[in-house]
Amino acid sequence: MSFKLENIGNLFENSHRMNPLRNIHSSDVFRTILERERARAERTGQCFSLVVFGIDKENGTGDASLERLGTVLGQKVRICDEVGWYDRNRIATILPGTSAEGARQFTDVINERIKEVASSLTCTIYSYPSSGMKSDVTLKDSVENMASFTTGKSIEPLEILYSRPIPIWKRLVDFFGALLLLIFLSPLFALIAFFIKIVSPGPVFYRQERIGYQRRRFTFWKFRTMHVDNDAAGHEQYLAQLIGSDAPMTKLDDGRDQRIIPFGKALRYSCLDELPQLINVLLGDMSLVGPRPCLPYEAEEYLQWHARRFDIVPGMTGLWQVSGKNRLTFKEMIRLDIRYSRAMSFLMDAKILLRTGPAILGLMIFEPFARLGRNRTGEHRLSPIKKNIGGF
């Protein structure tokens, strides 16, 4: 019996040697671990790095290089590290509590151990959290921009790997929906532009830099509802206070505001000033449905978990807008944006679009009375609509 057990043990050991990658996590399991590590880093404030090894397209030799790599990784990683398939041609390692520089040192050690196959492999280091993201980086570019193992390691912000690719159906709905609406609403555009020119000197449109998908900056279009050359310092300070508090996100211009042009508030409450954003949707900077695109100085106040709203394309309307909008707190807005990012679907977008009209109508009817109440009491009153946050 002992002889047979010994043979079985030897067979198991030999099988492990013949297939050194069998204990590496599958890609599905590894992605789950990667998402868990992101949540842990956001909760603790501790950094981590992801190192992705792949086969060089020009010098790759196939499975032999990856098997050699997998064997070495199994010997060199710490007990807290994780090794798994990133996809069918790449192996990745999660290094908790390790900066990008620490990850570079780790890859130097691995490079020494696999010199015989290093020239056939690529290596990309992703760090999290990153101090910022390149405005011209796309998901495809970040994946393909992998440096040769022998010439250095490319370092990228990890956030680009968490971003959800834009579904084809969503881009088609956005493009044709925005095009048809721009054509159909062109008479209204002309009427609003003519009105603005009459009541206030200056340009018809207001252009502003905003931050959207993967922190990319773009020019945001609106009809101008304020006088020209207003100072943004007050708005910047007000936003910082809202982000750090649990107060409802009422607008700074709530009440009498000398910055707003005649009948400008009517354009704002009816959301007619937002119609030029259809241009942004047509260009692909925005979607019909998605999170509100934020201002650069607003993003500077974000905690790391707030940046999850950049995982998806911003929109003209969204779950926050139809769930209470300015009656909700900043944290509630972010949670709604994250919820939408995780559950985005064609049906969900359709529901939000259908609820947008009634939400705007309710804002036009009830907001003036709510504003009057706030002006009299000096307090913010939360609307019962806040209870509908869990409607999706």
- What is the structure's pLDDT at 61? 54
- What is the structure's pLDDT at 144? 35
Burial of 358: CB neighbours in 10 Å, binned 0-12, 13-18, 19+: exposed
CA distance 40 to 68: 31
Q: What is the pLDDT of residues 163-178, one digit of tens each?
A: 888 999 999 999 999 9
The larger pLDDT score, comparing residue 133 to residue 92, is at: 92
Please enumerate in sequence order all residues whose Cβ is within 8 A of that of 99, keeping only pairs 6 or more positions apart, or say none.
47, 49, 127
State yes or no: pLDDT of 153 exceeds 90: no
Going from N- to C-terminal start, the domains of the chain cover 24-162, 168-391
| Lowest model confidence (mean pLDDT) among 107-116, 289-298, 307-316, 359-368 | 359-368
Q: What is the pLDDT of residues 5-29, one digit of tens each?
A: 444 344 434 444 444 566 788 889 9
- What is the structure's pLDDT at 270? 87
Report residue 291's pLDDT band, with 50, 70 and 90 as the boundaries: very high
CA distance 283 to 287: 9
CA distance 2 to 278: 76
The larger pLDDT score, comparing residue 384 to residue 46, is at: 46
State yes or no: pLDDT of 66 exceeds 60: yes
CATH fold label, 24-162: Alpha-Beta Plaits (3.30.70)
This prediction's pTM: 0.74
